[in-house]
């Protein structure tokens, strides 16, 4: 609309075009939503990354259907992604968008939630046109890891067809640590024996041709499906059971209750074992906070009962709820918790801050290496003009200058204190 008015009524006047660009940038980055400085979710860059994730993730057909009537879903998706890139051009914090988008992209790939490979490739191509290969090379490497992992798991299934030590579907993705935004687990985990057999067999297979590589299992990102039968279930659930989607931590806890009960088993209740909080912690080796959160989730979903008014505490005893009922046959218990989402947002903020500090210092070194010496104000201005991914704050530039002086890259002139010299 605005492009048409600019062309038809103002003959593409360059002055008006620049003014229009500045106005769009100011509105996109400083509107009422984005002025909530204390709310990291309100940042324009993160909001746009979230919108792109909504378009590209399975289960959001309504968002993608908002395109032209009669157009295919792929055509609508391409048009909406192009519109998102139009907004992207006006962002003031490209680095925040990149950090957010990489995390969303990683989750879609690992959880196999991408609406289509074509959609993901279209978005990468559009980003590449605007920001260059430096921004998209990481995304391309992540795509490559997923492809290699699929080939690897096919080889594993074929080679262990007659020697497999487990009788369930087992899938894993081997990812390059440097390319992915995932962290090592912060807690120990003692795997259930049933799962440990599969892990051991795949680890042995993996090291046959990659003996120098090390596998780090990231259980906090892993998920499982487990079919559970409850004694008092009626209707279809009595025969087919309920299928629960759970995290690996939840699986480890639930498997503790997969024991025979009744006379002679050590568990008196016919409903299954009754375990204390401390017994669950000892058996899984998970951190207490994690165990408490997962038990609270089970009690809230009525999958378990506790002897403390169905509240999860460290003093409670827990047993499966034999009378569990649900209209749904498939139930997802592994939804992301708000506390985890807030923690991830803070981790991303810290990572962005570290990257920004490194970018500012690198820019200052490049400038000073070329100019040899500069007054304070000129160095500040040159640094701001040199950095394109974000708008550096003057205080951050000053801190970076001080760090470079401490590390021996710069020095102050003895006679003129606001003059900096580059030390080769």
Q: Tell me, what's the pLDDT at 266?
A: 46
pLDDT band at 31 (very low <50, low <70, confident <90, very high): confident
The stretch 170-180 carries a mean pLDDT of 91
**Percent of the chain scored above 90 by pLDDT?**
54
| Residue 166, pLDDT score | 85
* Mean predicted lDDT score pLDDT of the chain: 87
> How far apart, in whole angstroms, are the C-alpha atoms of residue 321 and residue 116?
40
Contact 220, 190 (CB under 8 A): no
Residue 414 tokens read as: 């003895």
Span 139-144, average pLDDT: 93
What integer pLDDT is reported at residue 40 of this predicted model? 53
Residue 12 has pLDDT above 90, yes or no: no
Residue-level pLDDT at 212:
74
Question: What's the confidence (pLDDT) of residue 108?
Answer: 94
- Sign, CA dihedral 207-208-213-218, equals negative
pLDDT in tens, 83-114: 999 999 999 889 999 999 999 999 999 999 99
Beta pairing, strands 410-412 & 242-247: unpaired
Average pLDDT estimate for 413-420: 88
CA-based radius of gyration for the chain? 28
Unique residue bearing structure tokens 């709310």: 39
Q: Which of 138, 153, 143 is nearest to 102 (CA)?
A: 138
Confidence at residue 334, expressed as pLDDT on a 0 to 100 scale = 87
User: Per-residue pLDDT tens for 268-326?
Assistant: 555 678 899 999 999 999 999 999 999 999 999 999 999 998 899 999 999 999 889 99
Question: pLDDT category, 267, cuts 50, 70, 90?
Answer: very low
- Residue 154: enclosing H or E segment and its boundaries? helix 133-159
Angle at 171 between CA 286 and CA 227, to 5 degrees: 70
SS3 content of the chain, % helix, strand, coil (to 5): 55, 10, 35
| CA nearest neighbour of 202 among 179, 174, 229, 241 | 174
Report the predicted TM-score, pTM, of the whole model to 2 decimal places.
Answer: 0.83
Q: Are strands 304-306 and 330-332 parallel, antiparallel or unpaired?
A: unpaired
pLDDT at 67 exceeding the cut of 70: no
Going by the DSSP 8-state scheme, the letter that residue 39 receives in this structure is -
Cα 120 from Cα 146, distance rounded (Å): 13
- Beta bridge partners, 224, equal 246
The answer, yes or no, to whether residue 9 has pLDDT greater than 90, is no
Return the closest-CA partner of residue 98 out of 59, 63, 130, 65.
130
Give how far Cα 262 sits from Cα of 241, 265, 307, Å. 21, 6, 19
Q: What pLDDT band is residue 69 in, cutting at 50, 70 and 90?
A: very low
> pLDDT > 70: what percent of the chain?
90
Nearest to 322 by CA among 338, 341, 302: 302
Indicate whether 211 pLDDT > 70: no
**Lowest-confidence segment of 67-76, 150-159, 358-367 by average pLDDT:** 67-76
Q: What is the chain's length? A: 424
The span from the CA of 172 to the CA of 109, in Å, is: 12
* Rounded distance between C-alpha atoms, residue 336 and residue 319, angstroms: 24
- Average pLDDT, integer, range 369-396: 93
* Residue, of 236 and 71, whose pLDDT is higher: 236
Smallest Cα–Cα separation from 361: which of 401, 314, 394?
A: 401
């Amino acid at each position: 609309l605005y492009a048409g008015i600019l062309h038809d009524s103002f003959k593409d006047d360059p002055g008006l075009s620049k003014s229009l660009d500045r106005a769009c940038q100011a509105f996109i980055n400083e509107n009422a939503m984005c002025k909530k400085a204390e709310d990291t979710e309100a940042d324009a860059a993160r909001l746009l990354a979230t919108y792109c994730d909504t378009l590209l993730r399975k289960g959001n057909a309504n968002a993608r259907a908002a395109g032209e009537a009669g157009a295919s879903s792929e055509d609508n998706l391409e048009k909406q992604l192009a519109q998102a890139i139009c907004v992207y051009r006006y962002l003031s914090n490209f680095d925040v968008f990149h950090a957010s988008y990489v995390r969303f992209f990683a989750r879609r790939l690992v959880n196999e939630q991408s609406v289509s490979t074509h959609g993901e490739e279209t978005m990468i191509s559009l980003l590449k046109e605007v920001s260059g290969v430096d921004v998209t090379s990481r995304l391309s490497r992540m795509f490559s890891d997923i492809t290699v992992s699929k080939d690897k798991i096919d080889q594993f299934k074929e080679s262990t067809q007659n020697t497999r030590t487990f009788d369930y579907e087992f899938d894993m993705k081997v990812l390059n640590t440097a390319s992915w935004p995932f962290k090592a687990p912060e807690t120990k985990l003692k795997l259930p024996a049933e799962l440990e057999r599969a892990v051991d067999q795949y680890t042995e297979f993996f090291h046959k041709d990659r003996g120098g590589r090390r596998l780090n299992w990231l259980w906090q990102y892993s998920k499982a499906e487990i079919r559970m039968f409850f004694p008092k279930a009626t209707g279809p659930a009595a025969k087919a059971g309920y299928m629960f989607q759970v995290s690996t931590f939840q699986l480890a806890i639930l498997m503790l209750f997969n024991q025979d009960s009744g006379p002679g088993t050590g568990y008196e209740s016919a409903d299954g074992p009754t375990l204390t909080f401390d017994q669950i912690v000892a058996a899984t080796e998970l951190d207490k906070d994690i165990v408490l959160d997962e038990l609270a989730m089970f009690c809230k979903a009525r999958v378990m009962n506790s002897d403390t008014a169905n509240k999860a505490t460290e003093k409670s005893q827990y047993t499966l709820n034999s009378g569990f009922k649900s209209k749904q046959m498939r139930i997802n218990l592994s939804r992301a918790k708000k506390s985890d989402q807030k923690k991830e947002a803070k981790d991303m903020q810290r990572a962005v801050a570290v990257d920004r500090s490194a970018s500012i210092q690198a820019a200052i070194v490049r400038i000073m290496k070329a100019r040899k010496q500069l007054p304070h104000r000129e160095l500040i201005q040159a640094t701001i003009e040199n950095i394109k991914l974000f708008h550096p704050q003057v205080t951050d530039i000053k801190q970076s200058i001080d760090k470079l002086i401490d590390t021996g890259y710069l020095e102050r002139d003895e006679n003129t204190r606001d003059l900096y010299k580059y030390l080769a």
